[in-house]
């Protein structure tokens, strides 16, 4: 595929469930820690997302479905009426600018701390995070999570379904279930964090069970055409060691392929990876791919070439993170070949107010 042909495809409209997207570039979910301590989205967040409404789709930052699922300070949640109302202000602001949003649902599992949530984290097994964790008091040693009981599992599945209904009430078009990046669902998939001997642990077909049950419950709650799932095969963030990546994802995709979900979202996607290629072969629906960009800078083209490679490898939509973070008008810059802003301060990605959040410059449309 030539650069010109791929560039045309990346700006072509695409269908996603009941949605028609104006092009194939999606804003990836980006934790920005700008909510209140109680997890309520703020008016500043409405401004931030509305600035980026030209994305084909915005996947809003991870929101916790219950109090014990909280990971870090000042992240969003979606389990109370105040959360619903806060998010409704955000979705209305984005819709007023012509945009579309879905909400990522994330339970941190062992990635949490009593100093943040007031609760002992829960996880598949009592295996602590092998590193310190950020809390309101700074970085502190992680704690041993409590192993989830059968009742914990049932109530957590129900919490995800309730959170999905709350998201629709808040004005989102759908939800993305987060089964990546070392959080709770990923912890059930991985051999080093799931040491259970019951129906949720051991062989791969048991380790995928919790993820499938969550996806099914969410799909039943709001309709499968409004539900996506995010995975990150082989990703070792938050101390994850899957052990048998090549077996986990074919089994998971096989279990979910007939459910009619809106999409599967592959994080850290490598078009040359046999696992990515197998997922594309086995997944019958829309595939979103999130490329690995250089850590030290945003590519001059905003990630366009990386996206084109993934489209050529079979992806349907391309999710970009930092390029949208630093460029509210990323789509205009990509279409015109204009220079892109770089992230000014990595620290401000995760803390602060307007600075490093809503103050990135846009191009003069008349220039």
Judge contact between 187 and 242, C-beta under 8 A. Answer: no
State how far the Cα of 119 lies from the Cα of 136, in Å rounded to an integer.
14
221-247 per-position pLDDT tens digit: 999 999 999 999 999 999 999 999 999
Kindly state the average pLDDT of the residues 152-177.
98
Is residue 274 packed enough to be buried (19+ CB in 10 Å), middle (13-18) or exposed (0-12)?
exposed
pTM tops 0.75: yes
Give DSSP secondary structure letters for 154-185.
HHHHHHHHHHHHHHHHTT-S-EEEEE-TTSHH
pLDDT category at 5 given cuts 50, 70, 90 is very low
Q: What is the structure's pLDDT at 8?
A: 77
Q: Is the pLDDT of residue 367 over 60?
A: no
Q: What is the percent of the chain where pLDDT is above 90?
A: 95
Cβ atoms 37, 74 nearer than 8 A? yes
The Cα 192–Cα 243 span in angstroms is 7
Closest C-alpha among 171, 157, 162 to residue 221:
162
pLDDT at 2 > cutoff 90: no
- Position 219 scores a pLDDT of 98
Q: What is the pLDDT of residue 7?
A: 52
Query: What are the Cα distances from residue 172, in Å, to 30, 102, 111, 216?
Result: 16, 5, 26, 19
Mean pLDDT within 339-363? 94
16-25 residue pLDDT tens: 998 999 999 9
7 or 218: whose pLDDT is higher? 218
pLDDT of 3:
38
Q: What are phi and psi of 250, to 5 degrees?
A: -60, -40
- Predicted confidence at residue 39, as pLDDT, reads 98
**Residue 247: half-sphere exposure toward Cβ, Cα within 13 Å:** 13
pLDDT greater than 60 at residue 366: no
Does the structure show a pLDDT above 90 at 6?
Answer: no
Write down the pLDDT at residue 364.
80
CA gyration radius, the chain:
19
Task: Give the mean model confidence (pLDDT) for residues 336-349.
Answer: 94
CA distance 51 to 244: 41
The pairing of strands 138-141 and 286-291 is unpaired
In whole angstroms, give the CA distance from residue 299 to residue 335.
Answer: 15
Q: What is the pLDDT of residue 1?
A: 34
Q: What is the pLDDT of residues 85-118, one digit of tens each?
A: 999 999 999 999 999 999 999 999 999 999 999 9
Query: What are the tens digits of pLDDT across the range 169-210?
Result: 999 999 999 999 999 999 999 999 999 999 999 999 999 999
Q: Tell me: the pLDDT tens digits for 238-286?
A: 999 999 999 999 999 999 999 999 999 999 999 999 999 999 999 999 9
pLDDT, tens digit, for every residue of 309-326? 999 999 999 999 999 999
Helix (H) or strand (E) holding 314: none
Q: Report the percentage of the chain scoring pLDDT > 70.
A: 97
Output the average pLDDT for the chain: 96
pLDDT in tens, 283-310: 999 999 999 999 999 999 999 999 999 9
Neighbours of 132 (CB within 10 A): 12
Q: Distance between CA atoms of 265 and 54, rounded to whole angstroms?
A: 20
3-state secondary structure of 223: coil
Instruction: Go through 298-331 and write b for each residue having 16 or more CB atoms within 10 A of its CB, e for each that does not.
Output: beebbbbebbbbbbebebbbbbbbbbbbbbbbbb
């Amino acid at each position: 595929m030539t650069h010109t042909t791929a560039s045309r495809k990346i700006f072509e409209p695409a269908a996603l469930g009941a949605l028609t997207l104006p092009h194939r570039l999606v804003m990836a979910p980006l934790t920005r820690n700008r909510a209140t301590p109680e997890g309520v989205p703020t008016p500043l967040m409405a401004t931030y997302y509305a600035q980026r409404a030209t994305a084909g789709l915005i996947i809003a930052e991870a929101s916790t479905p219950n109090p014990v699922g909280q990971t870090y300070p000042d992240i969003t949640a979606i389990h109370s009426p105040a959360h619903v109302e806060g998010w409704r202000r955000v979705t209305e602001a984005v819709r007023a600018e012509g945009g579309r949003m879905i909400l990522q649902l994330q339970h941190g599992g062992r990635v949490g701390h009593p100093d943040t949530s007031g609760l002992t984290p829960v996880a598949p097994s009592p295996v602590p995070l092998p590193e310190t964790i950020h809390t309101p008091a700074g970085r502190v040693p992680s704690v041993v999570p409590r192993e989830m009981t059968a009742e914990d599992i049932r109530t957590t599945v129900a919490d995800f379904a309730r959170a999905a209904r709350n998201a629709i009430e808040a004005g989102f078009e759908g939800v993305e279930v987060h089964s990546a990046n070392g959080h709770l669902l990923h912890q059930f998939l991985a051999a080093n964090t799931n040491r259970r001997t019951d129906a949720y642990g051991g062989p791969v077909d048991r380790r995928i069970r919790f993820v499938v049950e969550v996806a099914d419950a969410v799909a039943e709650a709001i309709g499968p055409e409004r539900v996506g799932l995010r995975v990150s095969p082989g990703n070792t963030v938050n101390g994850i060691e899957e052990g048998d990546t090549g077996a986990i994802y074919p089994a998971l995709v096989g279990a979910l392929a007939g459910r009619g979900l809106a999409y599967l979202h592959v994080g850290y996607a490598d078009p040359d990876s046999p696992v990515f290629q197998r997922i594309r072969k086995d997944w019958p629906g829309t595939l979103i791919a999130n490329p690995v960009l250089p850590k030290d800078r945003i590519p001059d083209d905003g990630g366009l070439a990386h996206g084109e490679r993934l489209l050529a490898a079979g992806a349907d939509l391309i999710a970009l993170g930092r390029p949208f973070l630093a460029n509210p008008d990323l789509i205009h810059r990509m279409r015109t070949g204009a220079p892109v802003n770089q992230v000014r301060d990595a620290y401000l990605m995760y803390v602060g107010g307007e600075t490093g959040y809503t103050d990135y410059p846009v191009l003069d449309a008349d220039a």
